[in-house]
Chains A and B, each alone.
Chain A
Amino acid sequence: MSEHNNHNVPDLAALQRKEKGAFARLVDAHSDKIYRLALKMLGDQQDAEDVLQETFIKAFNHIDGFEGRSKLSTWLYRIAVNEALMLLRKRKGKLTSIEAGVELDDGEVMPRQIVDWCCLPERELMKDQTRQAINRAIQTLSDANRAAFLLRDVEGLSTQEAAEVLEISESALKVRLMRARLALREELSQYFSEMMPDKVL
C-alpha cells in the first residue's frame, strides 16, 4: 500500500496547502522515528530534540518542493540525517564530508572476536547495562556507517530506501552497512565475552 493512502499519513495536497491539521498528523506519525534516529546518530537527548524540531521546521518550509518521487518518510529521514551530520560537523569543529574516510575509519573488518555469546541468557542480553554498551558501540562507528546502519537495521528501511535517504548507490550502502555491522559485532563480542562462563578467546 502506498504511504500516501495510509490513514496515519496526511495527503500531500493538504500539506502543500500548509493545512495545520495535516502537518500535525505528519508530525504525529513520524516524530518518534525521527527522534530515535537523531538520538542514535548523536548520542545526546538535547541534540536529538534540536534535530527533530529543525527537521519538521524545514519540512514545513520546503514541502512545496517535495515532488512525491520518494516516500514522505524517506524525505524526512534525509532532512534529519543531514541536520544530524551538520551538528556532528559543528561538534568536530571542521567541515568533513560524509564520504570522507568511509573505507578506513571503521578499521579492519576481519572478525577478531570469535566467541559465541548468543547462548547467554536473555536477561543478560536485555539489561540496562547491555543497552548502554550497545549505544556506546553505535557511537564508535563513523558518521557515514552509523547512518547506514541505523536506517537499514534499526529503522528497518530497505536497502533501496536507505540508499535513497543517504543519496548513495545501493552497493555503497551495502559496504557501509557491512562495515558497521562487523564493527558493532566486534564491540559487543568483546563486551559479552567477559560474561561468558568459560571464555573462549
Chain B
Amino acid sequence: MKHSHNAHCHNTLEQLNAYIDGELDPALCSLLEEHMENCEDCYIVYNTLQKTIELCRSDGEKISLPQDARQRLYAALKLEDDLTSEE
C-alpha cells in the first residue's frame, strides 16, 4: 500500500542506515524487514538509498590520478627519479 511517510517511518531512517551498513541489531533487522514488507515507501527509500551509495562508489572507482598530474606531483616532491624507476 502506498502512503505518505509518517512518524514511524521517520524513525526507521536511522535504522535503515545501520541496516545498510550491517550494523543493525538482528532483532531490529527482523522488525525493519517486516515493516518494509508492508510499507512500499520505506522499501523504495531503502532500495534507492542503497543504489545511491552503489552508484557513488562505482563512480569513484573510475577516478585515478591523471598521468600528467602524477608527473607534476612527483616533481613537486622531488621524486622524479622514483617515478621513472616505477614505470
Contacts and interface: CB of A to CB of B under 8 A. Distances in A.
B17 A24 contact: no
B56 interface: yes
Contacts of A101: none
B47 interface: yes
Interface of A: 20-21, 23-24, 27-28, 31-32, 35-36, 39-40, 45, 49, 52-53, 56-57, 60, 109-111, 114-118, 125-126, 130-131, 134-135, 138, 149-150, 153-156, 159, 174, 177-178, 181-182, 184-185, 188-189
Contacts of A138: 56
Nearest to B10: A110
Nearest to A36: B63
Interface string B32-65: 0000000001001101110111011111101111
A35 to B, nearest CB: 4
Q: In the complex, which range does the number of interface residues on chain B fall in?
A: 35 or more
Chain B contact residues: over half helix, strand or loop, or mixed? Answer: helix
Contacts of A28: 86
Given A125-B55, A153-B53, A185-B45, 13 more contacts: A27-B73, A31-B65, A53-B72, A53-B76, A134-B56, A150-B60, A153-B57, A177-B17, A178-B17, A181-B17, A181-B52, A182-B49, A188-B48
B5 interface: yes
A111 B5 contact: yes
Contacts of A20: 79, 82
